Amino acid sequence: MEILRGVLPVLCLAIWLLVIPFGMGLFVSCVIPGRDRTPGAVFITGYLLLLALFELAGIPVVILVTYDSFTLLSRIFMALSIAAAAAGFVLMIRKTVREEGYFAGGEGTFGRITLEEGLYWLLFLALLGFQLYMAFTRASFDGDDAYYGAQGTIAVQMDSLYRINPYTGRSAPLDVRHALALFPIWEAFIAGMSGIHPVIVMHSVMPLLLIPLTYLLYFRIGKELFGRKRIMLPVFMILMALFQIFGNVSVYTNETFFLTRTWQGKSVAGNFILPAVFWIFLNLFDDNWDEWPGHVWMERTERENRGYFLVLACLNLAAGAASSLAVLLSCLLTAGLGLLFAVRYRKFGVLVRAGLACVPGAAYVLTYLVIR
Amino acid sequence: MYGIFMESLVIFKLYTGLRFLIVLFALSWIYLLFAEKDKKRRLLFVAAPPLILLAFLFPVSRKIFVAAGLDGQTYYRILWTVPMGLITAYGMCRAFEAHRRIGLVICALLVILCGSFVYKSGYIQKAENPYHIPDTVIRICDLIAPGEEEGHVMVVVPEELVYFVRQYNARIRMPYGREMIEGQWDYYNEVHEAMEETEIIDLEKLLEATRKEYCQYIVINPTRKVKGDAKELGLQLLADIEGYRIYRDPVAAAEVESWQQYYGEDQD
């Protein structure tokens, strides 16, 4: 019984932080080209859908429901996420049974690895392990936690969302400035599901997820950048890890946020959401597929590109979980890069699709302005 | 306009910390400017960054940012849309591709020397527990925490503990929180004045203020000098945790209990 009590929270964390997001990724990834559908890409897109769905479920609850709002949000999100994840797993099984295969083929990164490559990967894993160890064993003080940490605890212990002053505990009108940024509430949801205190989830559990998740994104970006020059990928990852560890040149850099405020939405915005926009744009169009072993050169069709814009639309809503500024930045980046691509590739449709991908973000901003 | 431009420039300088990491970024960007032939990557890593930087420094951008109701102090976050780490690492990899072993060593050393080790920050210390909040706070909160049916308790704690109490237990209220401590807010609170704004805490004055706020508990910092006898003033010393004295005020407690019984749990 005692063992079960110890194992159960870990099992719940594994389900809600790994299995469900992966299932959601399987669901949303069916819109991207099959050759891009790697487990890593699935996991990243899963988190984009997860955060977008949490915003979609959470915003009406936060605005309209005063009492027992966290319980209600938890139930709605639980149903939505389980449904999306189940649909994803069904899709994958169906494709596997029909022998179409769900995941991208090819040799992969770790097939026939050379000694030098292996050593580079070991070095990168050591740097990653060091960051995870430090995140778990070192407490980083940040004044904003008095807000975000307390909001998570309030959600779980008081069943209230943004209607209690986190600093004092007094009842308060809806805190409009933060009410739409639900990242701490998602962390509270994980706490509620696992039975672990929200502050432990934020400070000790989340870095163990968010740091590898961010590197997974950089890994995908690296794969796009280096193609067949596989040995450069771990070199790139080592330099990225060092840049994160030594990027603390001021308190403002996203690298500083990454390792000192990992669990806060703004860190997720700076290190995961915004770089993910670059990852999606790197995946658009065709340039380097001939460089990949095991792949045949294929021009990306308009339809395939369209799938990525759907992921981008998810991303622009997911950014709202971090902050209202993150939505603006991700939308501006989407529109700006869309414009650059439209001009350079002479495809006006890119700009239109980039604009459409900003619609969820625009709806978020509009909601913010209305309730302000 | 020129003033706003200069302000933005100062924000940029503060962002870079005037460390050489920004030079590494610039060198990588310049290398990619000449060496990168791929259309897509040129757009993302060569064309976009200077455009974003120009937009950042352009005074009208800052005006729009503030006019949109966004906090001017977060303007620097526009710079997060320039993936400096990605561009630097990619540019380095491309530059040293042919000599990757020595290239990796040199680039790694450059990043280490030009950057700043994040874990040397004074704000990072060994965690005392998985909550990453001080053990003292947990012990104090466990001591005074109300039961499920009791509703809330109100406690005044020294400034250094203010940040943590409500992260640990949302049923513990405080007459003031972080908003009274940090410089950007200029609020007044009578309890804060009596607790923190004098060299010696005048217990009688503090008690007068805390009773107005119905504080059942008072926590005194071990290093603070106190004027007045707690016992004579009717305070009960509950415990001494790591030197912090935790007092219960029976007068405030009785008052809270009486209106909690009368009105139910919640009273603000």
Q: Using one digit for the tens of pLDDT, what is the confidence trace for A220-258? A: 999 999 988 899 999 999 999 999 999 999 999 999 999
Which of B108, B163, B175 has its CB closest to that of A145? B163
Q: Mean of the pLDDT values across residues A335-360? A: 93
pLDDT value, residue B186: 73
CB contacts under 8 A, A 140-179 vs B, are 140-143, 145-147, 149-150, 153-154, 156-158, 164-171
pLDDT greater at residue B150 or residue A280? A280
pLDDT value, residue A298: 46
pLDDT greater at residue B261 or residue A217? A217
Taking an 8 Å cut-off on Cβ atoms, the answer to whether A232 and B93 are in contact is yes
pLDDT greater at residue A54 or residue B73? A54
Q: Mean of the pLDDT values across residues A213-225? A: 96
Tracing tokens 């050169």 back to the chain, one arrives at A297
Quote the percentage of chain A above a pLDDT of 90: 79
Q: Which of A3-7, A13-17, B94-98 has the highest mean pLDDT?
A: A13-17
Question: Quick check: A180 and A318 in contact, CB under 8 A?
Answer: no
Which of B17, B167, B174 has its CB closest to that of A168? B174
Paired tokens of B250: 């029976």
Q: What is the DSSP letter of A15?
A: I
CA angle A23, A24, A28 (to 5 degrees): 120
pLDDT value, residue A293: 45
The three-state DSSP-derived secondary structure of A332-362 is HHHHHHHHHHHHHHCCHHHHHHHHHHCHHHH
Q: What is the rounded CA–CA span in Å between residue A57 and residue A236?
A: 38
Q: What are phi and psi of A19, to 5 degrees?
A: -70, -50
- Residue A156 above 80 pLDDT? yes
pLDDT band at A301 (very low <50, low <70, confident <90, very high): low
Pick from B77, B88, B100 the residue to mutate for testing the A interface (most A CBs within 10 Å): B77
Give the 3-state secondary structure of residue B73. helix
Q: What is the rounded CA–CA span in Å between residue B63 and residue A108?
A: 48
Taking an 8 Å cut-off on Cβ atoms, the answer to whether B43 and A147 are in contact is no
Residue ranges in chain B modelled with pLDDT below 50 = none
- To the nearest whole Å, the CA of A167 is away from the closest chain B CA by 5
Q: Tell me the angle at which helices A232-245 and B100-114 cross, rounded to the nearest 10 degrees.
A: 10
Paired tokens of A358: 């900003």
Indicate the residue type of B158.
P
pLDDT band at A296 (very low <50, low <70, confident <90, very high): very low
Q: What is the rounded CA–CA span in Å between residue A186 and residue A180?
A: 12
- To the nearest whole Å, the CA of A123 is away from the closest chain B CA by 12
pLDDT value, residue A286: 60
Indicate the residue type of B6.
M
CA distances from A342 to A82, A175, A327, A348 (A): 38, 39, 22, 5
pLDDT greater at residue A33 or residue A222? A222
pLDDT band at A287 (very low <50, low <70, confident <90, very high): low
pLDDT value, residue B82: 97
Helix residue ranges, H only, A195-264: 198-200, 206-226, 232-245, 254-260
Question: Quick check: B218 and B201 in contact, CB under 8 A?
Answer: no
The three-state DSSP-derived secondary structure of A76-105 is HHHHHHHHHHHHHHHHHHHHHHCCCCCCCC
Of A47-51, A64-68, A100-104, A295-299, give the lowest mean pLDDT range: A295-299
CA-closest candidate to residue A288, choices A276, A297, A279, A277: A297
Pick from A250, A323, A343, A366 the residue to mutate for testing the B interface (most B CBs within 10 Å): A250
Question: Quick check: B225 and B196 in contact, CB under 8 A?
Answer: no
- Residue A372 above 50 pLDDT? yes
The answer to whether ipTM exceeds 0.90 is yes
User: What rounded mean pLDDT belongs to chain A?
Assistant: 91
Indicate the residue type of B174.
M
Give the 3-state secondary structure of residue B238. strand
Q: Using one digit for the tens of pLDDT, what is the confidence trace for A60-77? A: 999 999 999 999 999 999
pLDDT value, residue A306: 81
Q: Mean of the pLDDT values across residues A270-284? A: 95
pLDDT value, residue A295: 44
B100-103, long-range: CB within 8 Å, 24+ apart, which pairs? B100/A231, B100/A232, B100/A235, B101/A116, B103/A235
- To the nearest whole Å, the CA of B76 is away from the closest chain A CA by 7
Question: Quick check: A146 and B177 in contact, CB under 8 A?
Answer: yes
Chain B touched by A244 (CB under 8 Å): yes
CB contacts under 8 A, B 203-242 vs A, are none
C-beta atoms surrounding A320 within 10 Å: 33
Question: Quick check: A327 and A366 in contact, CB under 8 A?
Answer: no
pLDDT value, residue A113: 87
CA angle A220, A265, A233 (to 5 degrees): 15
- Residue A152 above 80 pLDDT? yes
Q: Using one digit for the tens of pLDDT, what is the confidence trace for A157-193? A: 999 999 999 999 999 999 998 999 999 999 999 999 9
Give the 3-state secondary structure of residue A164. strand
Taking an 8 Å cut-off on Cβ atoms, the answer to whether B39 and A344 are in contact is yes
Question: Quick check: A202 and A15 in contact, CB under 8 A?
Answer: no
pLDDT value, residue A107: 57
pLDDT value, residue A362: 95
Question: Quick check: A277 and A330 in contact, CB under 8 A?
Answer: yes
Q: What is the rounded CA–CA span in Å between residue A133 and residue A127?
A: 10
pLDDT value, residue A106: 61
